[in-house]
């Protein structure tokens, strides 16, 4: 892995779950206000939110890893389909898991271990429900 020191460094960047979710909501709101779905604009907004290149990259990687798991059968309790049949996270537990799960990487990709990720998502979702968090289910 000597060829990818930046990936290893970014994989270790920690983002607190509350900050992770705050970024999701802030960027979603800004994208609606600007009336755009351009991914480049989204990346710029994420970078602006964190004000730190590594934190922004870690966030983007974690979101991409989470999105890859949406089609897993284990994701069923945590996702819903929108009007266009797009799978969307409907659970704060998923976002908490995206912030907390270790990122694994090989020569050409970063990913979450599916079992590990959904175990964290279930624990986080249960804790959020117990704490009375809104928008959990």
DSSP E strands in 18-136: the ranges are: 79-81, 87-89, 104-105, 110-111
Look at residue 46 in the predicted model and tell me its pLDDT.
95
Asked if the structure places residue 134 within a domain, the reply is: no
Burial (CB count within 10 angstroms: exposed 0-12, middle 13-18, buried 19+), residue 58: buried
pLDDT, tens only, 20-45: 999 999 999 999 999 998 989 998 99
Look at residue 108 in the predicted model and tell me its pLDDT.
76
Asked if the structure places residue 10 within a domain, the reply is: yes
Q: Are 126 and 102 in contact (CB under 8 A)?
A: no
Look at residue 81 in the predicted model and tell me its pLDDT.
63
Phi then psi for 92, rounded to 5 degrees? -65, -25
Which residues, given as ranges, of the chain have pLDDT below 50? 1, 87, 135-137
How many distinct structural domains can be found in the chain? 1
Whole-number Å distance between alpha carbons of 39 and 99: 20
Look at residue 82 in the predicted model and tell me its pLDDT.
63
Asked if the structure places residue 94 within a domain, the reply is: yes
Look at residue 117 in the predicted model and tell me its pLDDT.
95
Asked if the structure places residue 98 within a domain, the reply is: yes
Asked if the structure places residue 137 within a domain, the reply is: no
**100 lies in which domain range?**
5-129
Name the token pair of 137.
């289910």
């Amino acid at each position: 892995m000597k060829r990818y020191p930046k990936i290893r460094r970014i994989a270790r960047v920690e983002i607190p779950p509350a900050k992770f979710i705050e970024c999701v909501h802030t960027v979603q709101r800004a994208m609606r206000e600007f009336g755009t779905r351009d991914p480049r604009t989204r990346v710029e907004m994420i970078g602006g939110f964190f004000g730190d290149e590594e934190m922004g990259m870690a966030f983007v990687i974690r979101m991409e890893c989470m999105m890859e798991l949406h089609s897993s059968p284990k994701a069923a309790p945590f996702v819903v389909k929108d009007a266009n049949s797009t799978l969307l996270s409907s659970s704060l537990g998923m976002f908490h898991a995206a912030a907390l799960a270790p990122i694994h990487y090989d020569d050409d990709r970063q990913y979450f271990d599916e079992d590990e990720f959904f175990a964290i998502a279930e624990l986080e979702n249960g804790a959020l429900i117990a704490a009375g968090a809104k928008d959990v289910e």
